[in-house]
C-alpha cells in the first residue's frame, strides 16, 4: 500500500533535511529499543532454555502456565515485533 503525506510550511527553513534528520534520529532510537528488547529476550531464553519462538508457540497454546515472567516475556516479544515493524516502515520512507 502506497501512502503519501503532504507537509507545508511558511518558514524559510528548508523542511526536507529536517524531516530526514528526524527520521534518522527515530531510527537510532528504534535500534536502541530493539537492542534492549533483544537482550531481554536472550535473558529469558537462557533462564528457561527455550527460544522465544518456542516459548511463544507453547504459551499461546496454553502449554505453559501464566506467570509474571512469562507475561513479561510475551510482552517483550510483542514489543520487539512492533519496534521492528516501525523500523522497517521508516527505512522504506522516500522523501521527494
**CA torsion 47→50→52→58, rounded to 10°?**
-120
pLDDT in tens, 41-86: 999 999 999 999 999 999 999 999 999 999 999 999 999 999 999 9
Dump pLDDT digits (tens) for 13-47.
Answer: 899 999 999 999 999 999 999 999 999 999 999 99
Q: Given this model, what pLDDT does residue 94 score?
A: 92
pLDDT of residue 44: 98
pLDDT at 35: 98
pLDDT band (50, 70, 90) for residue 2: confident
- Banded model confidence at residue 1, pLDDT cuts 50, 70, 90: confident
- Of 90, 88, 80, the closest CA to residue 39 belongs to 80
- Domain map of the chain by residue range? 26-91
SS3 content of the chain, % helix, strand, coil (to 5): 70, 0, 30
Amino acid at each position: 500500500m502506497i501512502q503519501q503525506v503532504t507537509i507545508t510550511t511558511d518558514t524559510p527553513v528548508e523542511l526536507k533535511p529536517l524531516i530526514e534528520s528526524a527520521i534518522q534520529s527515530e531510527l537510532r532510537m528504534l535500534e536502541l529499543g530493539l537492542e534492549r528488547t533483544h537482550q531481554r529476550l536472550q535473558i529469558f531464553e537462557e533462564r528457561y532454555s527455550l527460544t522465544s519462538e518456542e516459548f511463544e508457540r507453547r504459551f499461546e497454546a496454553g502449554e505453559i502456565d501464566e506467570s509474571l515472567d512469562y507475561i513479561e516475556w510475551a510482552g517483550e516479544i510483542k514489543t520487539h515485533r512492533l519496534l521492528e515493524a516501525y523500523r522497517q516502515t521508516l527505512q522504506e520512507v522516500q522523501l521527494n
